[in-house]
A and B are shown apart, each in its own frame.
Chain A
């Protein structure tokens, strides 16, 4: 009995270690801030731990984790505890540590995108991040968001349209920014 529990804990630890970077990146895009992202992922994984006996043996534990994380993110948003981007300067752009010219440009690019994402309604932001960062199908995204496929299509399309309309982002694309 105890051995089985220890084995489950080891399995869970391995899962956490393996998934932490990816989950943190997704959470970062959802929240726009390092510490908020870490809180979101940690809180998500705590909930997953509670249900690990069931989740660990499921076909797709990732789907459950995504679902928990999106729920947690949506709840946080509902609380109206303002999500915030990394400390802003007067220009409203995210301030990041930059030590070379390239890094400054890169940080600025990221700041523009994170600011743009933060301006999307939460469901649109979730749909965009899950579809275009996590690369989920519409069905998988709908499962994660707890809504219909139609709602995913609508939210993702609106989100993308709003991002496209942001001049800063279009400029980044035009200048070959983004992926270095």
Chain B
């Protein structure tokens, strides 16, 4: 017991630490599920290998069905996703919640900001669609182009969130049906203010981009530009996740985030490599 507590009843940091330690003792410590962890880890690694292999094959220049099977964005985004990232068809898709991925984060004017994407798997039938719609409603993520649960069948959905100083809002959302393609485009951008309702320039650029894109160039109103490149997941620099092109869990496409300098705003964005 701390001396502070002896003399007054205000909580000291030591009191807090002791209360936390006591509360932590409330959890039941069972046997560590090492085998389950290793099995789960192997599954994750296998999925990563599948994605990397498929992308590498497509980049090498394979055409037709090979590219379509392995590389979303070259004509059949979802088929690629099924091959690369989804479990076999006999395994039910995860419907209870989205797969979230942090796309970029940083700090500005003393406020932390971040951009993340939630990807919901495609339900296969009406029952799964109903389950997922319920989960989406509970999560506050409702696709704009869905009127009834069955509209979700065969569609994955994504929601891009911007968070600034703890205030979080959706800046981009959509669904992707199996067979959707890029129709000649190679990226789908959205732009927003970093600071919600600030009235300042629109500086934040977010979007999905074909897996083959190696470089995206964001052009700003003052004539300058920012080039971003593919970066591995979880690469932190100076305690922030830097802007770049990243994969997202469950998504057939890659995603990018660009932030304009404070003095300017968004003009245009292109895949440049």
Interface residue ranges, A against B (CB under 8 Å) = 9, 12-13, 16-17, 20-21, 24-26, 28-29, 34, 37, 42-43, 45-50, 52, 67-68, 71, 74-76, 78-82, 96, 106-107, 109-110, 113-114, 117, 121, 123, 128-129, 132-133, 135, 142-143, 146-148, 150-151, 160, 163-164, 169-170, 172-174, 176-180
Contact = CB atoms under 8 A, between A and B. Distances in A.
Given A17-B32, A113-B19, A129-B20, A96 B9 contact: no
Nearest to A180: B22
B89 interface: no
15 contacts: A25-B25, A28-B23, A29-B23, A46-B44, A49-B40, A50-B45, A50-B48, A82-B138, A113-B22, A123-B166, A133-B21, A147-B240, A148-B107, A173-B5, A179-B19
Contact of A24 (B20, B27, B118, B236): B27
A113 B102 CA distance: 30
Ranked nearest first, the 3 interchain pairs of A and B with the lowest CB-CB distance are A49-B41, A20-B32, A25-B24
Contacts of B22: 106, 109-110, 113, 178-180
B60 interface: no
Interface of B: 1, 5, 9-11, 13, 15-29, 32-34, 36-38, 40-45, 48, 96-98, 100-102, 105, 107, 110, 112, 116, 118, 138-141, 161, 163, 166, 168, 234, 236, 239-241
Contact of B19 (A25, A71, A172): A172
A98 B168 CA distance: 40
Given A79-B139, A132-B13, A110 B23 contact: yes
A150 to B, nearest CB: 7
B100 A78 contact: yes
A29 B16 CA distance: 12
A65 B55 CA distance: 28
B194 to A, nearest CB: 16
Contact of A160 (B16, B44, B239): B16
Contact of B241 (A121, A146, A170): A146
A173 B26 contact: no
User: Chain B CB within 10 Å — which of A25, A68, A150, A163 has the most?
Assistant: A25
Contacts, number: 171
Contacts of A24: 27, 29
A178 B18 contact: yes
A12 B27 contact: no
A47 B19 contact: no
B9 to A, nearest CB: 4
A80 B240 contact: no
B11 A25 contact: no
Interface class of chain A by DSSP: helix
B11 A28 contact: no
Nearest to B139: A80
A169 B5 CA distance: 13
A75 B116 contact: yes
- Choose among B26, B40, B96, B116 the residue with the greatest number of A CB atoms under 10 Å from its CB: B26
A79 B161 CA distance: 10
Most buried by B among A45, A78, A81, A128: A78
Given A81-B138, A135-B17, A34 B11 contact: no
B38 A71 contact: no
Contacts of B16: 128, 132, 160, 163-164
B38 A49 contact: yes
B105 to A, nearest CB: 6
Interface centre among B1, B15, B18, B236 (most CB of A within 10 A): B15
